[in-house]
Amino acid sequence: MVAKQAQDVGSQGAKKNQAKAERSNAVSLREANQAELSHGLAGLLRAASVEGQAARLSDKRLLVAQKHVLAKSIGNLQGNYHLQKVIGSLKREAEQQPAHQNPEGIGIDCQATEPSSSLGPVPQERVVRIANGSLHSAGRSSIGNLITRFQIPQHSIVQRQVPPDTDTSKLDALIAQVGTECDAFGKYKQSPLDGKAMPGQTIQLAVSRWDGGPVEPWMKGYVGGKMGPLRTKLLNEMISMSGVGWPDYETLFDVSIQTPNHKYTMELKAVKTLTEKVIAKIVPIVTISYTNDFGWAWHRDYTLVAIEISAGISAAKKKGSKVKPKGGLGGGPLSLDISGKASADPVPIRFCGGNDFTSVVSIVKTSVKAHLGPAGGALPGLTAVSFHRTPNGDVNFPFLAPLTGSITGGATDVGVDVSVGAGIGKSVGIGETVVTPPPELKEENKLSRSYREWEAVIGPFDTGEAFVLPAAAAYLDKLHKQVYDFKTQQLDPMAQALRDQSVDPDKNFQLDFNIIGMTSRSWSSARSDAARLKLNEQLSLRRADAVETEIHNRFADVHEVTKTGSGAHAVGPTPEGGGVPPMLDDAEAQALYLTKLKEAKEEKDPKTRRMMIKAVEANYGPNGDQQAARRVYVFCRWNGYMIMKTLVPVTPSTPGQP
């Protein structure tokens, strides 16, 4: 054992000397690049415009040190005032880039999927796996999202719960306001008579004017827990029924806008009572019905009190005689000669209740009849009834009369009759709107399967080393606090309720860890590429082992630990259009290295070509030693039972029962 420790110490000393030599070579390389850049591009910088110089400084192929030399050269050659203009142009360009774009092509992702709330639905588990020595995620990327644009953080941790000492008063006030509006909507939907009275407008404005600062990753889970599943469902339904999108809600609330599929139909009422028959002889009586995919339904009868004006023209010609046209103009109370049901066309996007159709109504009617000898008939006629001033504007119901034809004996003439009519008046509701309310839901505590995941990124490790530095260990302490805060704040209070459901609270809290060690591509003492890969794989596993030891020292409820030494990696360039830079395994990095090297060699300017080749070697080559690749990723998962609020239908009480 002592001999092995001595061997390890000797190996570590050799690695430290190797690391010093590599850093010395890197400094020399950087200085050479800076010298070549400052001399070879001086003429270009002197002649370039502000925009051209800004574009050159934002070139992703350049290293940070090279960009600093360029900026210094601009200041020396054209003055600090001109340099400030270039920097201002760079800032404006950066503001136009996507929020997660990383101009340096390196970074660590600390944004995670929102945790399931004890009061809300449980999201699907994200599966993280190792394939071909590379980290992949079957959901949102877990690696590569930039924390800071120009500085790689030493250690990172995912913040899924409310950070300590966070002032949530503004967010709580907004949640309370939205919750109150959702409660009002729940009552409204049981008797939706007036579309203009639908709740929602107040909170729509409130969220659009949110001034509580940037939206943090923990906020949506916090809001979901405060809202609960019933209010969240009501909010989704309220936004969908409004007919307009509320995009600001997607950042803070769990909103998934659905299509209500409004369906309005109109038909002549089949009169039955004596009163209805008397009214129908004077004015038409129609019935409008409504349904949607949320289970809403209503219908109501209306009388259409309107005046109609009609005009007609007819022409006939008998054999051996001239055409004899005739015309006429008439008017009187509205009459409707329609059959069947007509659906609103186009379909309204906003909800209209039974009271919304008691408004101005207009009617247009057309008909064409013709005969040729003994054969005659009517072309399809149109009767359109339009209700105005509804929440959706005009709602139209078009009725088409069918094509008809007949043969009569003896007729030898040719004729055509065309008539057009129009009317305007008032729609008056008869009785009350008959509402069939949708199923009422309530929240009920039930035993449900739940899931949580926390992530931490440890690194960068020193080149060739597997020691967990004190600062990294402190981040594992923070991870421990987050995990056990969840236990004490959410699981422990429901311990007795879990026992009542035959669930042991102690056995229910078991943690699974997935630890993934990584290294950069370089290993200067390796005699072959295969040896380099093997040494990096062994080092990455030792780093995972070191982190596992720290985890066992801190976490008492470890159920299972999965470790992977994923070997050599490199951080790829930022995708076109912005996004998360990918983590590349050694084979992927080698392919990218060869492509970038070919591009660099095609550069015509010799000094720029040498600079580009050195940059490609440093970033993607087999001797590249990227800090972002010398890391360990820790995924801590809990998968157990919670007493969660679930939506269940309200059972109506029978007469005589409380």
User: Do the Cβ atoms of 357 and 427 come closer than 8 Å?
Assistant: yes
What's the whole-number mean pLDDT along residues 581-594? 88
* Predicted local distance difference test score (pLDDT) of residue 161: 64
Q: So what's the pLDDT on residue 653?
A: 58
Given a cut of 50, is residue 120 above it in pLDDT?
no
Q: What is the mean pLDDT of residues 108-123?
A: 30
The percent of residues above 90 in pLDDT, for the chain, comes to: 29
User: Average pLDDT, stretch 421-437?
Assistant: 91
Residues paired with residue 225 on neighbouring β-strands, in sequence order:
none
**Does this model's pTM top 0.85?**
no
- Dmax (CA) for the chain in angstroms is 130
Residue 265: pLDDT over 90: yes
pLDDT digits (tens, 9 = 90+) for 228-246: 889 989 998 998 888 766 6
Looking at 109-113, 287-291, 296-300, 428-432, which range is the least confident one? 109-113
Which range is least confidently modeled, 41-55, 209-223, 416-430, 596-610?
41-55
Res 122: pLDDT: 28
DSSP single-letter state for residue 421: E
Residues 185-229 have pLDDT tens digits of: 999 999 999 998 999 878 877 777 777 677 777 788 888 888 888
Q: Compute the distance between CA of residue 413 and CA of residue 372 in angstroms, rounded to an integer.
A: 6
C-alpha pair distances (Å), 658 with each of 190, 266, 445, 650, 654: 21, 40, 21, 14, 8
Q: What is the DSSP string of 489-512?
A: IIIGGGHHHHHHTT--HHHH--EE
Q: Which of these ranges, 9-13, 251-255, 646-650, has the smallest mean pLDDT? A: 9-13
Tokens describing residue 21: 């030599």
**Stronger pLDDT, 217 or 282, i.e. the higher one:** 282
The CA–CA distances, whole Å, from 230 to 51, 183, 286, 443 equal 53, 9, 37, 6
Q: How confident is the prediction for the chain on average, in pLDDT?
A: 76
- Yes or no: say if 122 and 451 are a contact pair by the CB < 8 Å rule: yes
pLDDT in tens, 149-195: 222 333 344 445 677 778 888 889 889 999 999 999 999 999 999 99
- pLDDT for 274 equals 78
Residue 326 has pLDDT above 80, yes or no: no
**3-class SS at 639?**
strand
Residue 571's DSSP bridge partners are 583
**Which of 138-142, 275-279, 608-612, 653-657 has the least mean pLDDT?**
138-142
How many angstroms separate the CA atoms of 118 and 646, rounded? 10
640 vs 371: which has the higher pLDDT = 640
To the nearest 10°, report the CA torsion of 399, 403, 406, 412: 110
Top mean-pLDDT range of 23-32, 73-82, 482-491: 482-491
Q: Are 416 and 368 a contacting pair, CB within 8 Å?
A: yes
Contacts of residues 77-81 at CB distance under 8 Å and 24 or more positions apart, as own/partner, are 77/42, 77/45, 77/46, 78/45, 78/46
Higher pLDDT, 547 or 275: 547
How far, in Å, CA of 89 to CA of 55, rounded?
9
